[in-house]
């Protein structure tokens, strides 16, 4: 008996001594950095970037300020060193396994642990794991990372090819492509430890990865199969518990993949914003042995099916998503990294960006391929809020190499990122790249770079290897058939080609790049509009933060630097001239540029929704900014809503009345994105700008959900005589006591005969104001220091009292409306 007890204790000893796995984040250690050729070490922040560290040490001025970008280009050519020393305890070293995990090294990083090189990293998007057990010692340990210049390495690689690939050195590095500058981004080819470095300690066994397949899903049951990858130190019997279900498994030393079925009765489905709740089921996956917990992982699962439907039809081929068997019109925007220096973005900033998408009635965001695979928090917020994600792989607007080193590197990048992200219910689509295919076929690179036939064949073969073979094959190995939705390139066909409007997804840039009148949006509607857009200036305060007062004019270098499109202001001006007055004063110009952008967005979104179900998606370019700049974004760098974001919220509302004018009159079409038809009443009123009702009509109308409903036709002959420049048609749809209001004007904004409005503002609650006017106040803009008005840039008619919520009490409210511009 005594012997038996001894034996048992001996057997259990490893599990008593080394129990649960643990981790330690090395970000909290003291880090320092320097240029390699210098001797003085300076304090550094981890995660961080070279640029922000230089700035924090007052070596460089604020990179976003004035024209500083130009002066800071030297940084990209240098080699930078980071180091820290950290203590390891005896207990830590006693762990059976110690892994050093680098979650984001930007980009060419040689890592030394206690002076021995343990890693040569060359891909910002990968997670690097190094077995560090034998290199660590009790007491002080030194970790040093040398970052070589991505620009220098890229340039050296350009020399090795017999031809020049668009876009020069940028495409050789697996590094965020927007760091090299974009038509909305400054060029800051930074480097550094941009995501945490962790020490992972584990004993006996650890859960390395969890995936699940949704094998069956209906109203009564969800059948899941978890695939849990466990790395075991020794052969033996282990217990795996998923929520309340526990099972024993015999594991072999090394990697084991455990199948674990799990059922949920009467499952609640995951729905997108606007269609229902984004129900999530929390799961805890627990690995233990002899009742000692070894490893624990948590995940939230959303039960849903997503299908990308591409079926031939009389016009071309459909392109739409079905969620839980229902076709869903996708409304949203393209998302770019929210900062040039990614570690500066806080968790709450990520949350706000997603919340702003939710608030604007979106249900999809496209993560554009020139940035990074976003942080976990971004996807967690999309999961919680019912926002689907169209996830590009990180390739944009260029042609990429096809050598085996490059392809291997990309393969590992895909494995790392798909493994990290695949369990998020929000993931709708994996897309190979942004505009590489379109660029190759339509942007004249062959001529520009003078390619021989042989060069062209080689470059295109390399494209096919990467986007038609390597990536889809890797996805096949990682994803179940049901979750494997891959689309090689967005758009599939360039906007100059007519097929781009009959099949696939489409980027329509005839407006803006092609300078076509924006009414053309009505004709150029594709099956799924994944990009289109128009620039608007950021909030004036945003500009004031980064441009010195004396430079706040269109001619200063500092000002010009905060517009990255080659003909940016010229293009804005040209469009503004067509429809709006052009103010001389900057603040007013800023206001009109925003109203213009909103006006263009309204036209585009309405055209896309009017074409439902031919068109089943409208994702505009672009949601957010990475620095303070004039761009296509509807949220500026500091998260301020431009006029366009208010407009987008209105135009993406689940129910929308769309008015189209023809020679004989007007038609009023109702579009309804709910799952059920909506019965209501349409009330149309012709009102002059002083508030007199000239005509009215009303009609009951049931809005279908799968296709649009023509609710009312108004012939000009039924209307009394009215002055087109002094009258507005107000349309309301009243359904379940909810009112949707739309205004239709008969002439361009610059032709409107506006009177000076007298606007009465009353504070009616701590965060409530009431507004009234005596004559139409067009695009009324409310401004008060740091106050967010939940509605803004709206039209206010006499006779209407509008109550507006603010996020904080506000007193000194400034008001601008279109009248102020027309009568400068
Ligand atoms: C789109 C994007 C970006 C670009 C934008 C505006 O096509 O893919 O490359 O910033 O156009 O020009």
Q: pLDDT tens across 406-438, in order? A: 999 999 999 999 999 999 999 999 999 999 999
Tens of pLDDT, residue by residue over 377-414, are: 999 999 999 999 999 999 999 999 999 999 999 999 99
Q: Classify each residue of 723-756 as buried b or exposed e, where b means 16 or more C-beta atoms within 10 Å of its C-beta.
A: eeebbbbbbbbebeeeebbbebbbeebbebebee
Answer whether 434 contacts ligand 1 (Cβ < 6 A): yes
Nearest to 491 by CA among 443, 528, 523, 534: 528
- pLDDT classification of 24: cutoffs 50, 70, 90: very high
Closest CA to 398 of 430, 452, 434: 434
pLDDT tens for 100-125 read 999 999 999 999 999 999 999 999 99
Ligand 1 touching residue 184 (CB < 6 A): yes
| Residue 481: strand, helix, or coil | helix
Cβ-Cβ contacts under 8 Å for 663 (sequence gap 6 or more): none
Return the residue whose CA atom lies nearest to atom 11 of ligand 1: 621
* Higher-confidence position of 1 and 76: 76
Report, as an integer, the average pLDDT of 747-752: 96
Q: Which of 622, 625, 627 to mutate to test the pocket of ligand 1 (most atoms within 8 A of CB)?
A: 622
H or E element: which one contains 209?
strand 205-217
What is the average per-residue pLDDT within 138-153? 98
How many A from CA of 525 to the centre of ligand 1? 18
CB-ligand 1 contact for 187 (6 Å cutoff): no
Pairing of strands 777-783, 768-773: unpaired
Residue nearest to atom 9 of ligand 1 (CA): 397
- 347-359 and 376-385 are packed helices; what angle lies between their axes, rounded to 10 degrees? 30
Average pLDDT of the chain?
96
333, 621, 626, 629: which to mutate for ligand 1, most atoms within 8 A of CB?
A: 621
**3-class SS of residue 467:** helix
Cα-to-centroid distance, 413 and ligand 1 (Å): 24
Q: Is the CB of 167 under 6 A from ligand 1?
A: no
Ligand 1 atom nearest 565 alpha carbon: 12
Q: Could you give the CA distance from residue 800 to residue 743 in angstroms, rounded to a whole number?
A: 14
Cis geometry, peptide bond prior to residue 491 (ω within 30 degrees of 0): yes
**Cβ contact 500:526 at 8 Å:** yes
Burial (CB count within 10 angstroms: exposed 0-12, middle 13-18, buried 19+), residue 264: middle
Spatial neighbors of 74 by CB under 8 A, at least 6 apart, are none
550-555: long-range pairs with CB below 8 Å, 24+: 551/66, 552/586, 553/586, 554/586
Hunting for tokens 């770079």 — which residue is that?
449
- pLDDT grade for 533, boundaries at 50, 70 and 90: very high
- Least Cα distance to 718 among 664, 768, 766 occurs for 664
CA pair distance 145, 84, nearest whole angstrom: 9
pLDDT band per the 50, 70, 90 thresholds, residue 259 = very high
Please tell me the predicted confidence (pLDDT) of residue 49: 98
User: Model-level pTM?
Assistant: 0.96
Strands 364-367 and 330-335 turn out to be parallel
3-class secondary structure, 112: strand
Peptide bond into 636 cis (omega under 30): no
Q: Is 435 in the pocket of ligand 1 (CB under 6 A)?
A: yes
DSSP string, 362-382: --EEEE-TTS-PPPHHHHHHH
The answer for residues whose C-beta is within 8 angstroms of residue 510's C-beta and 6 or more apart is 495, 516, 520, 524
> What is the 492 CA–ligand 1 centroid distance (Å)?
15
Q: Give me 245's structure tokens.
A: 């279900």
> Among the atoms of ligand 1, which is closest to the Cα of residue 507?
7
CA-CA distance, 144 to 157, in Å (whole number)? 26
pLDDT attached to residue 708: 98
Helices 568-579 and 586-610, packing angle to 10 deg: 80
Dist. CA 571–CA 562, nearest whole Å: 15
CA 391–ligand 1 middle distance (angstroms): 16
92 Cα distance to chain centroid: 39
Confidence bin at 7 (pLDDT 50/70/90):
low
> DSSP assignment of 584-636, as one string?
SSHHHHHHHHHHHHHHHHHHHHHHHHHTTTTS-EEEES-S--SSS-BBS-SB-
Nearest to 389 by CA among 372, 364, 357: 364
pLDDT tens across 210-253, in order? 999 999 999 999 999 999 999 999 999 999 999 999 999 999 99
What is the distance between the alpha carbons of residues 794 and 449, in angstroms, rounded to a whole number?
A: 49
Average pLDDT over residues 734-754: 96
Q: Give CA–CA dist 464/471, Å, rounded.
A: 10
**CA 47 to ligand 1 center in whole angstroms:** 29
Q: Which domains does the chain have, with CATH numbers?
A: 20-196 (2.60.120.260), 306-415+427-651 (3.20.20.80), 656-753 (2.60.40.10), 755-824 (2.60.40.10)
CA of 234 to the centre of ligand 1 (A): 53
Closest CA to 671 of 619, 618, 611: 611
| C-alpha 514 chain-centroid distance | 25
Read off the pLDDT of residues 695-727 as tens digits, 9 standing for 90 and up: 999 999 999 999 999 999 999 999 999 999 999
- Protein residue whose Cα sits closest to atom 10 of ligand 1: 183
Nearest to 329 by CA among 703, 604, 633, 675: 675
Report the distance separating Cα 528 and Cα 319, nearest Å. 6
For ligand 1, is residue 505 a contact (CB within 6 Å)? no
CA distances from 290 to 19, 22, 39, 203, 461 (A): 11, 18, 54, 14, 55
**What is the rounded distance in angstroms from the CA atom of residue 121 to the CA atom of residue 107?**
7
Edge to edge, the sheet with strand 320-323 lists: 306-309, 320-323, 326-328
Cβ–ligand 1 distance for 183 under 6 Å, the answer: yes
Q: Which atom of ligand 1 approaches the CA of 368 most closely?
A: 8
CA of residue 192 to ligand 1 center, whole Å: 27
């Amino acid at each position: 008996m005594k012997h038996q007890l001894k034996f048992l204790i001996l057997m259990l000893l490893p599990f008593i001594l080394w129990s649960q796995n643990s981790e330690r984040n090395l970000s909290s250690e003291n880090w320092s950095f320097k240029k390699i050729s210098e001797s003085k070490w300076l304090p550094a922040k981890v995660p961080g970037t070279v640029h922000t560290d230089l700035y924090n040490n007052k070596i460089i001025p604020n990179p976003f300020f004035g024209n500083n970008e130009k002066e800071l280009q030297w940084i990209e050519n240098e080699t930078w060193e980071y180091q820290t020393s950290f203590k390891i305890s005896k207990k830590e070293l006693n762990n059976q396994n110690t892994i050093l995990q680098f979650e984001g090294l930007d980009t060419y990083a040689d890592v030394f642990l206690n002076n021995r090189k343990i890693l040569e990293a060359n891909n910002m998007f990968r997670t690097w794991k190094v077995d560090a057990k034998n290199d660590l010692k009790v007491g002080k340990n030194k970790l040093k990372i040398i970052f070589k210049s991505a620009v220098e390495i890229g340039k050296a690689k350009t020399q090795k090819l017999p031809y020049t690939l668009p876009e020069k050195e940028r495409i050789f590095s697996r590094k965020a492509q927007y760091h090299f500058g974009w038509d909305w981004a400054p060029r800051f080819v930074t480097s550094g430890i941009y995501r945490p470095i962790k020490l992972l300690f584990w004993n006996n066994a650890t859960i390395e990865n969890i995936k699940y397949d949704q094998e069956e899903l209906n109203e009564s049951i969800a059948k899941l199969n978890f695939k849990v990858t466990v790395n075991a130190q020794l052969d033996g019997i282990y217990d795996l518990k998923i929520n309340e279900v526990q099972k024993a498994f015999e594991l072999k030393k090394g990697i084991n993949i455990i199948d674990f079925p799990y059922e949920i009765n009467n499952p609640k489905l995951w729905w997108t914003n606007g269609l229902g709740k984004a129900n999530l089921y929390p799961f805890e996956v627990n690995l233990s042995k002899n009742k000692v917990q070894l490893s624990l992982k948590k995940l939230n699962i959303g039960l849903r099916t997503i299908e990308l439907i591409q079926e031939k039809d009389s016009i071309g081929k459909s392109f739409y998503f079905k969620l839980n068997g229902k076709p869903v019109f996708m409304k949203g925007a393209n998302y770019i990294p929210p900062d040039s220096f990614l570690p500066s973005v806080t968790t709450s900033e990520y949350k706000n960006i997603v919340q702003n998408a939710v608030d604007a009635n979106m249900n999809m965001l496209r993560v554009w391929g020139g940035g990074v695979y976003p942080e976990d928090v971004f996807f967690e917020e999309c999961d919680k809020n019912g926002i689907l994600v169209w996830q590009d792989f990180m390739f944009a607007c260029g042609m990429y190499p096809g050598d085996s080193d490059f392809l291997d590197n990309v393969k590992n990048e895909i494995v790392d990122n798909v493994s990290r992200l695949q369990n998020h219910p929000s993931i709708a689509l994996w897309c190979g790249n942004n505009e590489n295919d379109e660029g190759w076929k339509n942007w004249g690179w062959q001529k520009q770079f003078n390619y021989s036939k042989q060069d062209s064949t080689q470059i295109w073969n390399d494209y096919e290897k990467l986007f038609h073979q390597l990536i889809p094959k890797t996805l096949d190995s990682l994803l179940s058939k049901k979750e494997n939705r891959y689309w090689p390139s967005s758009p599939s066909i360039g906007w100059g080609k007519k097929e781009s409007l009959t099949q696939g997804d489409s980027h329509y840039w005839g407006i803006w790049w092609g300078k076509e009148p924006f009414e053309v949006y009505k004709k150029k509607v594709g099956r799924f509009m994944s990009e289109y857009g128009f620039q608007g200036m950021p909030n004036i305060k945003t500009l004031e933060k980064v441009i010195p007062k004396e430079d706040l004019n269109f001619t200063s270098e500092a000002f010009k630097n905060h517009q990255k499109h080659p003909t940016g202001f010229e293009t804005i001006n040209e469009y503004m001239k067509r429809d709006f007055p052009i103010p001389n004063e900057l603040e007013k110009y800023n206001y009109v540029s925003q109203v213009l952008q909103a006006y263009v967005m309204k036209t585009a979104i309405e055209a896309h929704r009017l074409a439902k179900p031919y068109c089943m998606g409208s994702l505009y370019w672009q949601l957010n900014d990475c620095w303070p700049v004039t761009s296509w974004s509807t949220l500026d760098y500091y998260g301020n809503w431009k006029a366009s974001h208010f407009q987008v919220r209105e135009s993406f509302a689940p129910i929308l009345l769309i008015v189209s004018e023809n020679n004989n009159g007007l038609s009023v079409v109702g579009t309804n994105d709910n799952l059920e038809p909506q019965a209501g009443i349409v009330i149309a009123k012709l009102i002059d700008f002083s508030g007199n009702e000239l005509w009215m009509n009303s009609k009951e109308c049931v809005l279908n959900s799968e296709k649009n409903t023509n609710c009312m036709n108004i012939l000009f002959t039924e209307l009394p005589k009215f002055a087109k420049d002094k009258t507005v048609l107000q349309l309301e749809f009243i359904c379940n006591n909810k009112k949707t209001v739309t205004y239709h004007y008969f002439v361009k904004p610059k032709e409107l005969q506006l009177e000076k409005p007298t606007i009465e503002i009353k504070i009616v609650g701590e965060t409530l104001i009431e507004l009234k006017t005596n004559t139409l106040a067009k695009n009324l803009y409310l401004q008060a220091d740091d106050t967010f008005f939940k509605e803004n840039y709206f039209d206010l008619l006499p006779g209407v009292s509008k109550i507006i919520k603010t996020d904080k009490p506000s007193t000194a409210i400034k008001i601008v409306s279109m009248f102020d511009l027309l009568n400068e």
